[in-house]
Amino acid sequence: MNSFIVMQGRTYQEEKDLGIIWSPQQGKGNTVPHSWLRMKEVKKGDQVFHYVKGNIVAVSIAKEDCKAASKPDTLQGHSEWENDGYLVNLEYHELDRAVNVRDKFEEILPLLPVKYSPFQDDANGNQGYLYPCNEELAIKLLELISELNIYQVDKEQLELSIDDVRRTEHNTLIPVIAETESEVKTKIRLGQQKFRKDLMPLWESKCALCGINLSELLRASHSKPWKDSTNAERVNPYNGVLLCCNHDALYDRGLIAFDGQGRLHISSVICEEDYPLYGLIPLTKIRIHSENKVFFKWHKKNIFEANQALVRESHITDVEETEQPMNSDE
């Protein structure tokens, strides 16, 4: 099962009434936006989150694979779209209480992919129709939906009103969320188990930096994170490096990186005098496999260097604030 986020806006009510999502096959000038072409990826059983005007307002399950279909009659008013399109039949489950993305964006932002993110860094939705939703983001959205829409019985509560009981018994979201969340978590767990198993022998079952070989302290660190990887990349053992838990945390947060030659790079966030505390030796060069290079380079550019850019930006802001002239009244 895969998950998607559909940006519906003005077409939501029309499509919900029909129990579908629909997009044209081509745009003006025979262009094919990625968010339209992605419709072809939707298969029976896949999950779709519906985003409308800043809110997740519904969850649906695909009743069948995507198919080619003409523009439905109720969408004929949208003359800017070609008639030929892609259609998916869905079972909609509208939320009693929508999830406001901006209100929860601090929890959502770390889970967004670098490429094809449905949301901008300011919490606004990106233009387009259908976006991929990685498993970690799907779980977070399900958790946020559950918090707002599924009644949680207080174990210390002695009495429940009849309305509360009915709400719990007839809430169609409960089985949908329970089943999909379980399936998504299982997919992640099995993928991570395979990734670690295949990664261990590539690094002789010890930390690439400090040589620790106690299995309980070793982490299979993804270079290209789960949220940004394809299904194949997620379990590719060359998309990672074996590190102790301390070095794994530094690598995961972009505080260290390796280049295509296996040379260690250390973030300016870490003071040189503190290198020994973190077990970091400048110019250290680890032995890598040629297949690691493309993933190490991705991590260095998109995580390590992006982190460095944020540090520089923060430093400039701090300096500007410090150098502001004093108010004449002070």
Q: Which of the residue ranges 107-116, 180-189, 283-292 would you say has the lowest mean pLDDT?
A: 180-189
d(CA 266, CA 221): 17
pLDDT tens for 129-141 read: 999 999 999 999 9
DSSP string, 265-300: EE-TTS-GGGHHHHT--TT-B----GGGHHHHHHHI
**Mean predicted confidence (pLDDT) in 17-42:** 91
Please report, to the nearest 10 degrees, the dihedral formed by the alpha carbons of residues 284, 289, 294, 296 taken in order.
-30
**Mean predicted confidence (pLDDT) in 78-97:** 90
Q: Can you give the residue ranges of every domain in the chain?
A: 3-149, 192-318
pLDDT tens for 32-71 read: 899 999 999 999 999 999 999 999 999 999 999 999 999 9
**Mean predicted confidence (pLDDT) in 242-264:** 96
Q: In CATH, which superfamily holds the domain spanning 3-149?
A: ph1033 like domains (3.10.590.10)
Residue with tokens 């005098």: 273
Query: Using 50, 70 and 90 to split pLDDT, how confident is the model at 314?
Result: low
Choose among 126, 306, 302, 301: nearest CA to 227: 302
Tokens matching residue 192: 């991570």
Q: Is the pTM of this model over 0.95?
A: no
**Mean predicted confidence (pLDDT) in 8-28:** 92
Tokens matching residue 106: 């601090």
Say which amino acid occupies 41: E
